[in-house]
Amino acid sequence: MNFRHKHIFLLPGLLVLIGILIFPILFTVRLSLSSWDSFYPGLDFIGLENYIRLFTDDLRFWESFLRLGFLSLTTVFLQYVIGFSLALMVWRDIAFKRFFRVLFLIPMMSTPVIMTVIWKTVFHESLGPVNDFLSLFELTPLWLSNDFLAKITVIIVEVWQWTPFMFLLLLAGLLSLPEEAFLAASIDGAGPIRKFIYVTFPLMAPISIGAIIIRLIEASKIMDTVYVLTSGGPGTSTETSSFYIFIKGLREFQMGYSAALSFTYLVIMIISLTIIAKVLVRVLMKQD
């Protein structure tokens, strides 16, 4: 077969890739070099002005980035710990195993925005059931109105919603582990804790790294929970990068500037996640 004909078969896939991946990125970069906003529509060229503004005069973006780091690392860590625990629980033969496997997946299958609205009602400080119950003990925590507690509330909702995803990946990993290693450990007299530390956990390291990275990518885009629960408040205490970019782009209609924010965010995320992945490989797979 002629070599050129092979390229023709690759063309549809290549065009799709260009259309849905390369073009939007290139357009974002071009947009970021323009002043497109509500009053000046169009792709004029203003050089690196938006990037200079971002790096010299936008502390709020960097604060939102730090906040995002805290929220995403905390939520993913908790999701990993809880997800792994649940996966271990239903990995072995227990009563109602199938029921529990489905039950644990329900949060992930529900619509995030709707569930967040429900959580908002649950945590409503004066009308919600949580404070209604806590008021019996003369406690009325300000779940959404206190700087610190608002962050905790966002974490609770995120952990509830996405732990099942971690659970699913880790359970799939556990089910694919070879039986021989566990048999050998049993013959050597290892108990459940030693088996977990020396067999299960090391064997699960590659899939753990994959699951953590996938969840970190997703968690770093946290937007709907913040939008519905707190709108980034009180003050700016739960404002994350993606919510800030949304405000600049679609609320204030600073399209050029928000493109610069988005592209900078993308670059930082690629670098950060690469570093995190390497650190995880070094820490979790050190025995290899």
Partner 1 sequence: MKTKIFATGLAVAVTMAAGVANADKWSDQFPHIKNTGDIPGECSYESMSKKDYKGKTLTINTHAVPVMGEPTALHAEQFSKLTGANVQVIHTPAGDLYSKAMIPFQAGQAPYDIVFGFSNFIRDWMQYLEPVPAKYVNMRQMQDVTKSHIDVASWDGEMIQFPIDGDRHYLKYRKDVIDNPEYQAKYKAETGRELRVPRTWKEYGEIASFFNGWDWDNDGEIEYGSAEVMKKDDLMYAAFFSRSVAYAKNPRTPGGFFFDLETMKPLINGPGFVEALTDWVEATKYVPPGGINFGLGDEINSFGGGQTLFSFSWDDAFVAAMEDNSPIKNKVGVASLPGSDRVWNRVSGAWENEYNQAPYIVWGWAAAVAKESTNHEMAFDYLCFFSNDANHQADIAIGRFGVNPFKKSDFVPAIYVERQGWDEEIAKEYTETLLEMEEQNTNRVFPLRVPGVFQFTSAIATGTSKALAGQLSPQEALDEVAAEWEKIVKRVGADKVREAYAVGVALEDNLN
Q: Which is nearer to partner 1, 122 or 280 (CB)?
A: 122
Residue among 44, 132, 147, 188 that touches partner 1 (CB under 8 A): 147
Using alpha carbons, list the distances in angstroms from residue 203 to 86, 171, 178, 187. 17, 13, 9, 18
Kindly indicate which of the ranges 21-29, 31-39, 157-165, 208-216 contains the residues binding partner 1, using the contact rule CB under 8 A.
31-39
Q: Provide, rounded to whole angstroms, the least separation between the CB of residue 266 and partner 1.
A: 21
User: Using the rule CB under 8 A, which residue among 252, 266, 267, 268 binds partner 1?
Assistant: 252
CB of 26 to partner 1, least distance (A): 18
Binding mask 104-143 for partner 1 (x = CB under 8 A): --------------------xxx----x--------x-xx
Task: Confirm or reject binding of residue 56 to partner 1 (CB under 8 A).
Answer: no
Interface mask toward partner 1 for 184-213; x: CB under 8 A: ------------------------------
CB of 43 to partner 1, least distance (A): 11
Cis check: omega of the bond before 234, within 30 degrees of 0: yes
Residue ranges in contact with partner 1 by CB under 8 A: 35, 37-39, 41-42, 57, 60, 124-126, 131, 140, 142-145, 147, 230-237, 247, 250-254
